[in-house]
């Protein structure tokens, strides 16, 4: 007898599922929903970062919040699969996250930038699925970034400038999902993960 949900009965999701998007497009919101709806199949890849914690974030759950010294030690020890310097801070994926997912027999969901996503694909070409979350348009992206109220004016501007570069790389991804209506976008991402996984 199987206790699988209808989604997981269709196919096994890829082992490594990457969600990328310009900052403010909604990928963290979508990632949280995917994780909440599919706890038996998917866990979140907890990155290390040197950026400051936002209200509501938890160390070890949303990120491992570390000092620059600690991050540079992780780099020199070869403890990261990939890392980038973004908005003046380091962000990187610990090797141990992939190992943790393998041991649990679950898929690993990454919320990482486009360069990080392409690096994961280069290292794990057969196991990875890359989904790009796009905002409906740049004005909406800006409005969402400001509405989140987590950034100063200068970091909003930096995030909008970087958004252009990230949008230009969307074509490299396996799928592009426009986050217009949130529930519709979540269902599209679920369809991609569970409907087009590996048989
Ligand atoms: P990201 O992780 O891509 O930086 P977030 O998930 O933090 O983005 O979303 C940015 C802001 O936009 C948040 O305040 C979130 O609640 C809001 N948001 C996300 N998706 C939608 C949507 N489809 N419609 C309206 N607001 C949204
Ligand atoms: P934020 O500060 O909004 O949480 O994240 C900023 C950017 O860093 C986002 O595009 C996010 O996806 C990306 N990011 C978070 N963790 C990692 C990581 O481990 N590696 C890479 N390459 N990017 C990351």
pLDDT tens digits, the chain, 199 residues: what are they? 344 444 444 456 789 999 999 988 999 999 999 999 999 999 999 999 999 999 999 999 999 999 999 999 999 999 999 999 998 999 999 999 999 999 999 999 999 999 999 999 999 999 999 999 999 999 999 999 999 888 888 888 989 999 999 999 999 999 999 999 999 999 999 999 998 544 4
Compute the distance between CA of residue 165 and CA of residue 114 in angstroms, rounded to an integer. 9
Q: From the CB of 20, is ligand 1 less than 6 Å away?
A: no
Q: Are 11 and 196 in contact (CB under 8 A)?
A: yes
Q: From the CB of 140, is ligand 1 less than 6 Å away?
A: no
Indicate which atom in ligand 2 lies nearest the CA of residue 21. 10
Compute the distance between CA of residue 51 and CA of residue 155 in angstroms, rounded to an integer. 12
Q: From the CB of 119, is ligand 2 less than 6 Å away?
A: no
Strands 42-44 and 107-111: parallel
Domain segments of the chain: what residues? 16-195
CATH architecture type of domain 16-195 = 3-Layer(aba) Sandwich (3.40)
Q: From the CB of 50, is ligand 2 less than 6 Å away?
A: no
């Amino acid at each position: 007898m199987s206790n699988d949900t209808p989604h997981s009965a269709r196919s096994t999701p890829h082992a490594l599922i990457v969600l990328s998007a310009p900052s403010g497009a909604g990928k963290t919101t979508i990632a949280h929903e995917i994780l909440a709806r599919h706890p038996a199949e998917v866990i979140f890849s907890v990155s290390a970062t040197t950026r400051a914690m936002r209200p509501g974030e938890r160390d070890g759950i949303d990120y491992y919040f570390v000092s620059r010294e600690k991050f540079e030690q992780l780099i020199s020890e070869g403890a990261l699969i990939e890392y980038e310097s973004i908005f003046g801070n380091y962000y990187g994926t610990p090797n141990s996250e992939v190992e943790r997912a393998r041991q649990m027999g679950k898929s690993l969901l990454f919320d990482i930038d486009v360069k990080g996503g392409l690096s994961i694909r280069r290292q794990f070409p057969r196991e990875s699925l890359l989904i790009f979350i796009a905002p409906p348009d740049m004005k909406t992206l800006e409005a969402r970034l400001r509405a989140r109220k987590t950034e100063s004016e200068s970091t909003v501007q930096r995030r909008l400038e970087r958004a252009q570069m990230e949008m230009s790389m969307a074509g490299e991804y396996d799928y592009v999902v426009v986050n217009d209506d949130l529930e519709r976008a979540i269902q599209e991402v679920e369809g991609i993960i569970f409907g087009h996984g590996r048989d």
